[in-house]
Structure 1
């Protein structure tokens, strides 16, 4: 459960695959002793396939808080083409409304785009992405949901671009350890980033890997030095931390929770 430093722990569900239902994912979170579940609003749990009220009620019955991960695979909030971008923003707004209805407190947002070189340069795309972040952040705040922009591996916005998000928007951030590692950060540099930006990083994805890749192996089975990387979270930081493990095996999820607790 929540520790003295105010860190709450949970996990990113794999409900979008259809291999596990949203209600089973909530039961698993409760059985492990997590404080929350981070529900994917895509695929099998895309917003039109859910009854937000039922999700919220079930979470409350399990004693869980809720976060959501907004869809991203086919949405283009950074598109330089107005109709494409506006359609994507409209869908994200609808997802945020569903999140608010189920009582989710945070929504993880991928501020990325497939518009990239050689056709589009970052200096052309960044202002569009930042404007979309501001639009969604204001929309979500009006509904009691906190937008948390996630650093993405190799595409805008990487961990090396989050300074612009902090400077030019009021949005919070999700810091993904695996994505940061892909983009060249070692454990000490991750700790430095969290220490410097702990006031804006509201959520963390603990994404373990055996190499500089976006692997999402069970926490503790990779080579990421979380003891070092997450040290600033043990120093009066208040926020949420999700283990993000690509597994449907409950035992690996439970072990990942134990490994995370040992670090926190």
Structure 2
């Protein structure tokens, strides 16, 4: 399993990423790293020097789908530009929050907007993975699989959010039914009191139980350590703890 680390919009952290990681996940676009300020050649060279691949997180402040066609068209046009930049950096995976405003999750308008985003990704040779962020108020975990399968998309399983929303059983159900389209993981711990994106092993998430499910259903998925800190020791320790969970399953 390839394991990377999230650096958000902070490109200055590329040079400080521990050698244990294989790629970085960069936040691009509105509220993150503005695409107009990115020197693609420079960033690509810096990544190459560190032997790092790249994945991107698409902007999430603007909902992907609304009740206004003009807004939705503009959103797709903007994300097209973001994905073009992502592709130029060498990314083949992009994470998106399946957000909406003013429309039902079952509406054809919502599904069509997600489907269009998937197709735009294909034009740039980028797989768009929709994240399981129901705990944060987006599409509920029990809807994610059917919705993303309907639009021919892929899923990013956010382990911390999914556990806090629906426990191990909810994650097992998703992987059992839709594990074939789960291609990317976000790995962080969390606490029922509301803390998220904390180091692996420091919260309430049943990582050992989840680790066995990941190895059974999605052993080829890529995994981003999404711990919100620039402390290299915390990031490396989180990676090691996660890897040990997978290796423990392999040795059983």
Q: Same fold (TM over 0.5)?
A: yes
Change (3 A) 1:33 1:259: same
Alignment partners' CA distance in 2, 1:137 and 1:255:
34
**Aligned twin of 2:191:** 210
Q: Would the aligned equivalents of 1:35 and 1:65 in 2 still touch at CA under 8 Å?
A: yes
2:2 corresponds to 1:8? yes
Q: How far did 1:238 drift?
A: 0.7
Alignment partners' CA distance in 2, 1:189 and 1:164:
14
Q: Would the aligned equivalents of 1:243 and 1:257 in 2 still touch at CA under 8 Å?
A: yes
Q: Would the aligned equivalents of 1:181 and 1:212 in 2 still touch at CA under 8 Å?
A: no
**Aligned twin of 1:242:** 224
2:158 corresponds to 1:158? no
**Aligned twin of 1:100:** 87
Q: How far did 1:95 drift?
A: 0.4
Question: For 1:178-212, what per-residue CA distance to the aligned partner results, in whole angstroms no more than 9, with x for missing partners?
Answer: 221342x2124323422432210000111211216
**Which structure 2 residues correspond to residues 59-138 of structure 1 after superposition, within 5 A?**
59-73=47-61, 75-115=62-102, 120-123=103-106, 126-138=107-119
Gaps of 5+ in 1: 1-6, 16-20
TM-score by length of 1: 0.84
**Which structure 2 residues correspond to residues 219-258 of structure 1 after superposition, within 5 A?**
219-235=200-216, 237-258=219-240
TM-score by length of 2: 0.88
Higher mean C-alpha displacement, 40-49 vs 99-108: 40-49
Q: How far did 1:94 drift?
A: 0.6
Gaps of 5+ in 2: 247-252
Q: Would the aligned equivalents of 2:104 and 2:110 in 1 still touch at CA under 8 Å?
A: no
Q: How far did 1:214 drift?
A: 5.5
**Aligned twin of 1:3:** none
Alignment partners' CA distance in 1, 2:212 and 2:193:
20
Alignment partners' CA distance in 2, 1:223 and 1:182:
9
Alignment partners' CA distance in 2, 1:157 and 1:66:
26
Counterpart of 1:179 (choices 161, 173, 183) is 161
Change (3 A) 1:156 1:44: closer
- Tell me the C-alpha RMSD between the 2 structures: 2.0
Change (3 A) 1:210 1:156: closer
Higher mean C-alpha displacement, 162-171 vs 189-198: 189-198
